[in-house]
Structure formats: C-alpha cells, structure tokens
Structure 1
Amino acid sequence: MTGLNLHPDRALATPVYLQLYQRFRSAIAEGRLRPGDRVPAVRALASELNLARGTVEAAYQLLIGEGYLQPRGPAGTVVAPQLATHAYAAVAPRSAPSAVVDPGRHDGLAPPPFQLGLPALDAFPRKLWNRLAGHRLRSITAAGLGYPPAQGDPALRAAIAAYLGISRGIACAPEQVFVTAGYRGALDLVCRSLQQQGDACWFEDPGYFHARDFLRGAGMRLVPVPVDEDGLRVADGLALAPDARFAVVTPSHQSPLGVSLSLARRLALLDWAGARGAWIVEDDYDSEYRYHGRPLPALKSIDREGRVLYTGTFSKVLFPGLRLAYLVVPPGEVERFRHTAEVFQQYCPALLQATVADFLVQGHFGRHLKKMRRLYAERRGHLVDALHATLGDRLRIDLRAGGIHLLARLPDGADDQALAASANARGLAVLPLSGWIQGDDARRGLLLGFTNIAGADEARRLCGRLRDALG
C-alpha cells in the first residue's frame, strides 16, 4: 500500500465512500494494486483515515460487488486474483456508480428487497390473465394482424374513460384518451404536442427523478418548487417563474413524500394555469392505493378550463412489464394530440391492450384492486412493525394514508446516499431521499418499497439486514 493516497478530500461534493471506491479502482487500473495484494482491514483503514467504519465498509462492498476485491475470511480482503487474466491495467476506471438505485432497472429476476415502483408480483392473477390473453390470441382476425390505432385500442380507451368517471370523478370521452408506452410515453406525447423551445416547467422538489431527467432531456427548463405538508407551494412557483408554461405535479400522493395537495393549493394552481394559459400535467400514479378513507378526487375532476393533462399507469396496478399508461387531454386538444400520435406512433402491443380492456370490462380490475388494497395494508403494517422493532427511533416513519412505499426519515443533513449504498451493497434496493432533491432541501431519508415483502418474518429479516448496513 506504499504510495497509495486514500485520504478523502472533504471539500468535494462526492461522498467520502465514493472517493474511496474511485481511488481503489484507479489504483487497480493503474497497476499500483496488483491481483492478490491484500488491502487494509475495514477497522484499520477507518482508523487511519479517521472515518466511520460504515463509510469504509460501503466502499469495500461496492468493490467486492463489482469483482475488484475478494474477501477471504480471517485472511482478510485482497485484490481479486482473477484480474491477472485480464488487461485490467489498460482499462480506464468507469465513472462511479450512483448511490440512487434505479427502480426502473430490472434484469428479469426477482426484484431485490425494498424495490420501489413495483406492485406485488406474486399476487397478480397470472392464470386469469393468461386465459384472457389466450382467448384473444385464439380469436384474432386478419384485420387484427395490422397496425393498431395510434391513439390506442378503442375498447381499452372506452374502458379507461368509464373507469375514470367512476373512480376519479373525471368526465371524459374515449376520444380524449390516448394509450401510451408507460408514463414517459405520456410525457413524450405532451412535449411533442405542446412544448416550445425554452419553456419553463414547475417541478416538485423533491420530485420523481425519472420524469425530471426525461423533461430535461426533452429541453424543458425545470424550475424546482418546494413541497411541504400541503404539497406543491404554489406561491413559491409564482415567485420563481410566474410565466412558466407547464407544471408537473403528483397531487393525490406526492412522489416521494406521500403528501396530498391541499384544496386551496389545487384551486390556486388551476387559477394560475387558467390565467397564464399554462398546462398542468397530473401524474396520478398510485391513487388507487389508499388505506384510510376514500381516494381523493383527481385534480382533473375540478378542472373547468381544460388546463389539466391527466396521466395514469397500469404499471402500479397490474404489472410494469405491460408498459401501458394513458393520457387524458381536453376536448379542444384532441386533434393536435391525435396528429402527434400518428406521426410519432408508440404502437403499444395490440394483444396487451385488448387483454387489459377485457380485464377492466369483465370486472376483474375492480376485484383485483380491492384485494391489493387489503394485501398492501397488511404488508405495510409488517414493515412498519419490523422497522420499529429493529431500528427503534433511529428512523422516523412518515406513515401516509396511501401509496406503495414508505419514507423513513433521517436527521436533516445525514448522508443518506452513503447509507443507501451500504444497504444496496448487501443486496437491498433502498433509495436515498436526497437523490430526488434539486435545491437546498436538507431533508434526508430512505425510501422503502413494501409490496413484495411476503410476511412478518421476511420483514423482520430484511430490517435486520438494513440495520446491519446502517451500522
């Protein structure tokens, strides 16, 4: 280890554990650490660098997970001997991995524990679904082999319009409904239809980072607007960018804090959009899952001037492999969006659209949601109980009325990214709250999905792994 400088630079914004990770990677790539070389023990290196053991452990676990280091029990940890057979020294180190685990990143295997954004895959009625899809396949006609309508299957659009009228209080015709390839497909349709160069967009802070990245890539100028217990702070948006042309919001269950947009702020947001001719994109991603009281009405249901573009998804209520979502546009914008859909067709698979339509029309969807609400309330309770029993007051649980994830609060300013990295190096899929924040918000926490935690025993076991990761 002679000549190897591992002392972190605390003036850098890069977390200390990632600095350690990068320096070990560079040393291995440049040949300063050779295959088989022993690296310092976690305790010894932490003492030498005056760091917490958990910080060094997080760096080591990342290196072990990528195959650069190899633990050998009492013999310590060494640079992986297998690297001797590769031209490792000639390869520049890759950029350090983000501590934010991508909840949309899947490998076709079982989801890792605490994965966000997934329904209970074990509870989906696969036999029923296969029967409905099989019937559609057996009854396909020659006409059904052609290109599907760019706006979506007519039967599915009619079923969605009927469902929204009953469950979300949205009065819309099937002609206003566009079926898209996931939520980002809906955002793409909005941007291609309405966005102009340099448009400003209010964006919740913290807010859904996949939407944030997509909109930035589409050329939107995002204006982070703080969120508090009453949701988006509309007055702050008016102060920061009164002339914005868009606002992207999650009013029923804010992503990721879980709060609901108050009625006063809903009305203020609609007043601003009406006065400015701005567009509000309402992402109603998991409003079906509410465990206390009835689901809140959609913002779109009180939109009298046609300024709300409403989006929903089947990823959270059925399964994400469908890649099906939908967008409801005001009547006066149907032709504009229809033209865009014809030019930039997403062509969601016709078989899947038809099967979802049958699932809705035949009443299976309503029964499935009722079953899932009961199941998720139970699984959420198991996780909350296990967190309290295992971690006590180290985490403060924000228990909201609905949703399919929990926010476990940490002290303001805590390094939630390092803690998430340590947990994820142990096979968990924990997201740090700070990864969803754009501004100076000091709130910190860990986001935990609970839908695929099968029972109380599994919840306790997983919380034990989380406790070990937090140190």
Structure 2
Amino acid sequence: MPASHLNQLIAALPLQRGASEPLFRQLYAAIKAAVLDGRMSPGMQLPPTRDFCRLLAVSRQTVLNAYALLTAEGYLDGAVGRGTFVSREVPLPVPPAAVPGLLRPLSARGQGVVTAMRQVAFHRGPLRAFRVGMPRIDHFPFDVWNRLEARRWRRPDHQFGYGDPAGYLQLRELLCVYLKASRGVQCTPQQIVITSGSQQALFLLSTILLAPGDAAWMESPGYRGASGPLRAAGACVFPVPVDAQGLDVAYGVAHCPQAKLAYVTPSHQMPLGVSMSLPRRLALLAWAAHNKAWLVEDDYDSEYRYSGAPLASLQSLDRAGCVVYVGTLSKVLFPGLRLGYMVAPPALAEALVQAKAVMDRHTAIVPQMALADFIAEGHFGRHIRRTRDSNAERRDLLVRGLAHELGDQLACGPADSGLELCAYFRGGHDEEAVSRAGLARGIELRPLGHYADPAAGPECATPPGLLLGFAAIPPAEMAHGLQELGRILRGR
C-alpha cells in the first residue's frame, strides 16, 4: 500500500476524544479491526510511532500502549531498529459470500425453542385497563423488603457462595408449612425445588419428563406460556377441551390415551376461570396412575379466592406420585422477583434438582433469603390478606361496571378467584377487531381466542369474548376502560 494511502487510513481511524474509554484502548481496537477486515494486510509496515502521533494528534505513549497490546495478542510484530509490521500469522479475510454456511441455521431443537413462545403475549408499555396477569404492585411493602435484603447484604456469610440447586433450605421449609396449611399440599422440604419463576419450572419439567414425539395433554383454551415449553421439548401437544367442570378427561382418554403428561390449572382454569370438579380430578388421577403419566398442576393464583374456602390442590389427592405441583410468587409479590417453585414426588425430586443445576446452577440466593425472612416475620401472610381484600374490591368494581355499563353486551364468566375474569359477547362481535380497536383507544383487551390452540378442533371452540384484568387497574382507569369498551361494542 502506498504511504499516502496508509497515512489516510491511519488518519481516519475512529477516535472519540473525551470519551470514558482511554485513547490507547480506542486506538488498539481501531487497528485490530483494520487488521481483521484486511485494510491493514499481513506484512504491512506501520509508520514510526512519532509519525503515528502526528497523523492522529495523540501522545507517543498512547501509540506505544496500543502497539504493546496488539503485539502481545499477536496482531503486530516488531523489533527495535527494524520497525513494526502487521503479523504474517494473521490470515487474510475471506469474503462473506465465499464462506459456506456463514448464516448457519439453528438446530431443529433450537428452532423449536425459539418459535415456541412466539404466540405468547408480553406486556408492553405503561399499565392500562385491562391488562391481564398483573398483580397490584403498588400494594407491596417494598420498604419492608428493602430492609430485609439490606440486612442480609450487611451480614454476608458462606451461603453467599454457590448454593444448593434445590434452593435456600429455610425458604423451602417455610414454603412446606405454608403449602400444607393453605393448599393441602403434602410434602417435605426435600421435595421442593426453587426456580426462577414458574416458567423455568415448566421448561425443566417438559425437558426431563418428555422425549421428542411424546404426546402431552394441554387445556384448550389454555395458558400459552405452558404449551411453549412443551413444544420446545419436541412434544406433540394434544389440545383437550375445557367445559364448566374443567378439563374434559374423558375426551383426552378417548382420543389420546398414550399421552405421557397432562398440564392442568384445576383450581382456577386459565383463562375461563372454572374449577375442576372432584369427579374430573379423580378421573384424571386414575388415568395418570394407570398409564404412568405425569400431571403438572399449575396453581398460579390460588391465593386469591374471594368466596368460600380455598380449594384443595390436586396434589393433595395424589396417591400414585404422579403430580408435580408448580407455584409462582410473581402473582403474590411482584413479577420482577422471578421466584417460583415445584413440589415433586419423592422419586422425581432429585432428578429435578440435577436438571436445575444444569440450567443455571441455582436461583439467586439473596431474594430467597429475603423471602424466607418475609414469611417468617409474618409479612407474607399480612400482604396476602391485604392484597386479597384489595383485589376483591376491584373485582366487585369491574363486575358492577360490566353489569351497569355493558350488561347488554357482555356476560361475565366465573369471578370467584384470580386476577382477571372472562366476559363473553352477547352479540356477534369479532374479538380480534374489538381488541385492535381497544389498543387504538389506549386499553388492552385480550381475546379469549388468543388462548386457543390453533391445531384444536371444534370440540375446543370457546364462545368469543375477552379476558379482562382488574387487580392492578386503579378505579379511575377501570372506569375509563369500561367507557371505551362500551363505545367500541356499540360502534361509537
């Protein structure tokens, strides 16, 4: 390369003066990039450091430091009295078009993982009516939580090293007591595995309990965040219809008896809100025991039941060791905490612990410690009672508002538990069109069709309607949302 061209190349090297990164690091990175992309070819002699300083208006020490780094990493060769050269060991760059398979495809498994959650709707933008799956965050005692975490940070000990993949033992002991008292779950701390949210629990279970091609029952309509991990594991997801008694077990047995796993939300079905009847629960347990299948019980919001005593868990009826109970603390505390748990049958617990260790070694320890203290000092129970009362007030507000403002347009589904309720259209509305109109007016309206499996037959069809969240929605925002929804449904 002619000296004039080389000087022009050096003078054009990008340096940002005044930036936080030192100039010698910037110069090092710029020369390295020029070598790797072929602008400075192997064997090319670089100008003396004094000339380099003049071309870039930098100090000689800046150039010397950059040269030293580049020489140590093998990009430059040099000796006193001989000059500095681009190393001949650096291979010439190959044009991208000549590299076969440069855009390497994902594996079939990788593609399955990537596409599995594409149909799941994620929250975006500020909170607004009628966002689903969202607890009331402003009710959480963050001042108490901050104090508990700060206390742990002030007194670090050996537990701040690598921990048990199963989770912080004191937290598992406290959850064991809580689950037995509140949900009738029968377990020991050794059966509990703390996870980074219930989503990780569902992925772990799908991965280790199913082989590619195994069939798995999935409620339809149902929680798309659960069908995603099943599909990512290569399972053949078989949609099973839901009616007023919950999952139609007889339909699943008749059409897919060979399934290895069934995912259910028996206490509060997502999204229809129905509870699985006792005969259905017993039939499901009998099928699983007879076929040596697994049942994944997702008890995602059982803390929030507003009428009658809480329903006992499916796990409490299990006598064959086939139910894995999955819970989340996102709906009780706050979603950003990302803490969940599994209660596994004794024969499965150790395998889940080892699988958890493969995935992320263990869930962050300080939040687990803070939660253990939060439970032990009574804050957890008080928070649940306070939040349950608040949710009930907002649920009543929504139910009354729907009856008063939209009784001629919508019919409410079950509203005795959870953070949202479903409302069915009385007229012939297109739920997708209504949802789009809602977004245009600043409200979120989740179509019930969003929860239907695209591969499901007419047996799984659900009357068109909407899922409306209420727990996190302030009264004024809820009133505004009802007004806008009324205008949409009446074509105004």
With the shorter chain as reference, the TM-score category is: 0.7 to 0.9
1:218 partnered with 2:233:
yes
1:105 partnered with 2:144:
no
User: What is residue 446 of structure 1 aligned with on the other side?
Assistant: 466
Partner secondary structure for residue 252 of structure 1? coil
1:352-382 Cα deviation digits (max 9, x unpaired): 1111111111111111111111111101111
User: What is residue 197 of structure 1 aligned with on the other side?
Assistant: 212
**More off after superposition, 400-409 vs 279-288:** 400-409
1:294 partnered with 2:299:
no
Task: Calculate percent identity across the aligned residue pairs.
Answer: 45
User: What is residue 20 of structure 1 aligned with on the other side?
Assistant: none
Residues 213, 193 of structure 1: CA spacing in aligned structure 2 closer, same or farther, 3 A cutoff?
Answer: closer
Asked whether the equivalents of residues 219 and 241 of structure 2 are also in contact (C-alpha less than 8 Å), the reply is: yes
Q: CA deviation at 1:101?
A: 9.5
1:358 partnered with 2:378:
no
Partner secondary structure for residue 212 of structure 2? coil
Distance in 2, Cα, partners of 1:442 & 1:273:
26
- In the alignment, residue 314 of structure 1 is paired with which amino acid? L
Distance in 1, Cα, partners of 2:414 & 2:275:
13
Q: Rg larger in 1 or in 2?
A: 2
Q: CA deviation at 1:135?
A: 1.0
Q: CA deviation at 1:106?
A: 4.3
Distance in 2, Cα, partners of 1:459 & 1:335:
46
User: What is residue 139 of structure 2 aligned with on the other side?
Assistant: 123
Distance in 1, Cα, partners of 2:374 & 2:433:
43
Partner secondary structure for residue 407 of structure 2? helix
Distance in 2, Cα, partners of 1:316 & 1:334:
24
User: What is residue 329 of structure 1 aligned with on the other side?
Assistant: 344
Q: CA deviation at 1:136?
A: 1.2
1:51-109 Cα deviation digits (max 9, x unpaired): xxxxxxxxxxxxxxxxxxxxxxxxxxxxxxxxxxxxxxxxxxxxxxxxx99654345xx
- In the alignment, residue 129 of structure 1 is paired with which amino acid? W
Asked whether the equivalents of residues 101 and 431 of structure 1 are also in contact (C-alpha less than 8 Å), the reply is: no
Q: CA deviation at 1:447?
A: 0.7
Distance in 2, Cα, partners of 1:313 & 1:362:
20
Moved over 6 A (4+): none
1:138 alignment partner, one of 154, 159, 167: 154
Note the 1:4-43 alignment, pairs <5 A: none
1:431 partnered with 2:462:
no
1:175 alignment partner, one of 190, 198, 213: 190
- In the alignment, residue 279 of structure 2 is paired with which amino acid? A
> What RMSD in Å do the two structures reach over aligned CA positions?
1.7
Partner secondary structure for residue 291 of structure 1? coil
Distance in 1, Cα, partners of 2:120 & 2:317:
34
Distance in 2, Cα, partners of 1:368 & 1:284:
19
1:230 partnered with 2:245:
yes
Q: CA deviation at 1:346?
A: 5.5
Distance in 1, Cα, partners of 2:206 & 2:230:
8
Partner secondary structure for residue 344 of structure 1? helix
Residues 380, 146 of structure 1: CA spacing in aligned structure 2 closer, same or farther, 3 A cutoff?
Answer: same
Distance in 2, Cα, partners of 1:289 & 1:145:
34
Distance in 2, Cα, partners of 1:101 & 1:391:
29
Asked whether the equivalents of residues 186 and 325 of structure 1 are also in contact (C-alpha less than 8 Å), the reply is: yes
User: What is residue 487 of structure 2 aligned with on the other side?
Assistant: 468
Distance in 2, Cα, partners of 1:219 & 1:312:
24
**More off after superposition, 429-438 vs 459-468:** 459-468
Q: CA deviation at 1:152?
A: 1.1
User: What is residue 85 of structure 1 aligned with on the other side?
Assistant: none
Q: CA deviation at 1:335?
A: 2.2
1:275 partnered with 2:290:
yes
1:268-312 Cα deviation digits (max 9, x unpaired): 000000000000000000011111111000000010110000000
Structure 1 runs not aligned, ≥5 long: 1-99
User: What is residue 166 of structure 1 aligned with on the other side?
Assistant: 181
Partner secondary structure for residue 408 of structure 2? helix
TM-score by length of 2: 0.72
- In the alignment, residue 177 of structure 1 is paired with which amino acid? I
1:152 alignment partner, one of 167, 171, 182: 167
Note the 1:410-421 alignment, pairs <5 A: 410-411=425-426, 414-421=429-436
Partner secondary structure for residue 423 of structure 2? strand
Asked whether the equivalents of residues 412 and 444 of structure 1 are also in contact (C-alpha less than 8 Å), the reply is: no
1:310-336 Cα deviation digits (max 9, x unpaired): 000001111100111100110111222
Asked whether the equivalents of residues 133 and 351 of structure 1 are also in contact (C-alpha less than 8 Å), the reply is: yes
Asked whether the equivalents of residues 101 and 429 of structure 1 are also in contact (C-alpha less than 8 Å), the reply is: no
TM-score by length of 1: 0.75
Residues 101, 271 of structure 1: CA spacing in aligned structure 2 closer, same or farther, 3 A cutoff?
Answer: closer
